[in-house]
Structure formats: C-alpha cells, structure tokens
Amino acid sequence: MTLTRADFHEQNQASAHTEARRLFEQKAVLQGAWLNWVASKIYTLRPAAYASMVRRELSRLQDAGEN
C-alpha cells in the first residue's frame, strides 16, 4: 500500500518536529558553525519528503526564536 502525502505527513510529523528541535538546540552550542552543520545533517535525512518536513520545522523554530 502506498502512503498518500497526507498519510506520510501525519505519520512523520512528530518525528520531524523532534528532529528539528534536536538540531535547533545545537545552535547555541555550535554558534557560527551551526548553519553548515545543520545543512549537512538535513542533507543526510531520507526520504527527501521527510528532510523537507524537518527543514520546515526548523524554519518555524528559527522564526519563533527571532520574534
């Protein structure tokens, strides 16, 4: 059975959020080196749809942190 995009999103949302939070928490530790580090971590995530979900969650966390 093939997952629909909505099913995939529903099944992986919590995991993507947790992974994004884990990556985001390293920002204070790595400081200036964080951007290259986090990009390399996202690059290794599979499938690509999951990597995109993590990227979107990271963007939300960054936006929330800057406001």
pLDDT above 70 coverage of the chain, percent: 96
Burial of 20 (0-12, 13-18, 19+ CB in 10 A): buried
pLDDT band with cut points at 50, 70 and 90 for residue 3 = confident
Tell me if the bond preceding 47 is cis, omega within 30° of 0. Answer: yes
Question: Which H or E run includes 32?
Answer: none
Task: Give CA–CA dist 24/41, Å, rounded.
Answer: 11
pLDDT in tens, 25-34: 999 999 999 9
Instruction: State the residue for tokens 């990227």.
Output: 55
Q: Residue 66 pLDDT > 90, yes or no?
A: no
